[in-house]
């Protein structure tokens, strides 16, 4: 397979992010504090600052019925749906198509008063993770987003402060086939989701304001995104 310029970085980061995502919040050492819970969704964060800036790592786990990990990752990765579910977006564009599973995005997010507006530039990679022999069931799927540079989009030249992010959406589908041998329907599938993100705000922003925004925005984002995918797929054939 022809390897592109970011392949080594992407391959390394995907392996690293997936292995971290698969660790429960217990194993990741202490420090994870549960800060939001809604039904099956549990959100944890660690309070971390770099040069006085809040960079709290976030880890969310969720279980959703009726959709597959492939479907979730498809709607998370594909640009054409993003404005439907990402409420903090002001603008989004695909800066470069590196491969059909690897894009570079530039996004500006709505300003969080009193901080200045932020933008981000990141590669986004969609990958199926084949199960090893002994794990039965469908493969896992992941999307990893990681900040990158691009000559046409230098940081901090306009009104926006460039943030730095690493995000991993890791999904595992579980199929419970109907007893009577009927074909598998959406009632027989469940998706276990792990969403990890570290966002460095790239410049000073009041810790209290950022933590309040994360506390409000992240639970809203994951609930809205999963509901969106359920709604988009409910009358479509299952994409395993």
Ligand X SMILES: CCCc1ccc(-c2ccc(S(=O)(=O)CCO)cc2)cc1[C@H]1C[C@H]1c1ccccn1
Minimum gap (Å) between residue 188 Cβ and ligand X: 29
Minimum gap (Å) between residue 118 Cβ and ligand X: 4
106 or 190: whose CB is closer to ligand X? Answer: 106
86 or 101: whose CB is closer to ligand X? Answer: 86
Q: Could you give the C-alpha distances from 147 to 13, 41, 93, 112, 152, in angstroms and in order?
A: 11, 26, 14, 20, 15
Name the residues that contact ligand X, by CB under 6 A.
86, 88, 107, 109, 112, 118, 120, 145, 163, 165, 167, 197, 199, 201, 205, 213-214, 217-218, 221
Minimum gap (Å) between residue 34 Cβ and ligand X: 17
Of 12, 27, 52, 40, residue with least CA distance to 166: 12
- Exposed e or buried b per residue across 182-212, where buried means at least 16 C-beta atoms within 10 angstroms of its C-beta: eeeebebbbbbbbbbbbbbbbeebeeeebee
Minimum gap (Å) between residue 213 Cβ and ligand X: 5
Measured CA to CA, the distance from residue 196 to residue 168 in angstroms comes to 5
69 or 201: whose CB is closer to ligand X? Answer: 201
41 or 189: whose CB is closer to ligand X? Answer: 41
18 or 120: whose CB is closer to ligand X? Answer: 120
CB 177 within 8 A of CB 82: no
* Exposed/middle/buried for residue 30 (C-beta within 10 Å: 0-12, 13-18, 19+): exposed
**C-beta nearest to ligand X: residue:** 217
Alpha helix segments (H runs only) across the chain: 7-22, 69-77, 82-85, 207-233
């Amino acid at each position: 397979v022809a390897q592109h310029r970011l392949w080594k970085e992407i391959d390394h980061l995907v392996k690293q992010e997936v292995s971290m995502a698969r660790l429960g919040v217990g194993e990741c050492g202490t420090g994870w504090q549960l800060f939001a819970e809604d039904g099956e969704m549990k959100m944890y964060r660690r309070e971390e600052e770099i040069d006085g800036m809040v960079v709290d790592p976030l880890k969310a786990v969720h279980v959703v019925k009726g959709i597959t990990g492939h479907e979730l990752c498809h709607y998370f990765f594909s640009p054409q749906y993003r404005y439907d579910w990402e409420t903090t977006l002001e603008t989004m564009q695909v800066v470069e198509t590196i491969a059909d599973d690897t894009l570079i995005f530039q996004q500006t997010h709505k300003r969080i008063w009193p901080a200045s507006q932020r933008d981000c530039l990141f590669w986004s990679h969609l990958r199926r993770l084949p199960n090893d022999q002994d794990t039965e069931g469908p493969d896992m799927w992941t999307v990893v987003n990681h900040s990158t540079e691009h000559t046409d989009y230098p940081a901090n030249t306009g009104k926006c402060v460039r943030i730095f992010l690493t995000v991993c959406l890791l999904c595992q589908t579980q199929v419970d086939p109907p007893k009577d041998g009927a074909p598998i329907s959406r009632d027989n599938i469940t998706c276990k989701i792990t969403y990890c993100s570290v966002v460095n705000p790239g410049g000073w922003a009041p810790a209290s304001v950022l933590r309040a925004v994360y506390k409000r925005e992240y639970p809203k984002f994951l609930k809205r995104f999963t509901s969106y995918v359920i709604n988009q797929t409910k009358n479509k054939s299952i994409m395993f």
